[in-house]
Amino acid sequence: GENVEQHPSTLSVQEGDSAVIKCTYSDSASNYFPWYKQELGKGPQLIIDIRSNVGEKKDQRIAVTLNKTAKHFSLHITETQPEDSAVYFCAATQGGSEKLVFGKGMKLTVNP
């Protein structure tokens, strides 16, 4: 089955800096890669996703890149703000079933 590894597990940055979260996956048939943000006491919320026919996608301060050959994808947040502080999860579909398999999450702290 699919295995999704996410690193680092925690990251602390100063406001205005950039943050990068990296994920690797094992199933070469994976074709959908969403990123979720979870604030304390809330359910995860989709912030951006990418499909296997696209190498990069941007939405304002957030971008995601996908390298299918290397089986890794990354989330880039520029000009970080304190409200970006949260836990971020990557996920990838398991080929065939399209079940989402999640990484263990990364806690981002943006210091004012």
Partner 1 sequence: GAGVSQSPSNKVTEKGKDVELRCDPISGHTALYWYRQSLGQGLEFLIYFQGNSAPDKSGLPSDRFSAERTGGSVSTLTIQRTQQEDSAVYLCASSLKRRTDTQYFGPGTRLTVL
Among 18, 82, 104, 111, binds partner 1 (CB under 8 A): 104
DSSP code per residue over the chain? ---EEEE-SEEEEETT--EEEEEEE--TT--EEEEEEE-TTS--EEEEEEETT-SEEEETTEEEEEETTTTEEEEEE-S--GGG-EEEEEEEEETTTTEEEE---EEEEEE-
* 40 near partner 1, rule: CB under 8 A: no
Q: Which residues in 42-81 contact partner 1 (CB under 8 A)? A: 42-46, 49
Asked if residue 109 binds partner 1 (CB under 8 A), the reply is no
Q: How far is the CB of 85 from partner 1 (least distance, A)?
A: 16
Of the residues 11, 64, 101, 110, which one makes contact with partner 1 according to CB under 8 A: 101
- Residues interacting with partner 1, by CB under 8 A? 6, 31-32, 34, 36, 41-46, 49, 89, 91, 93, 97-105
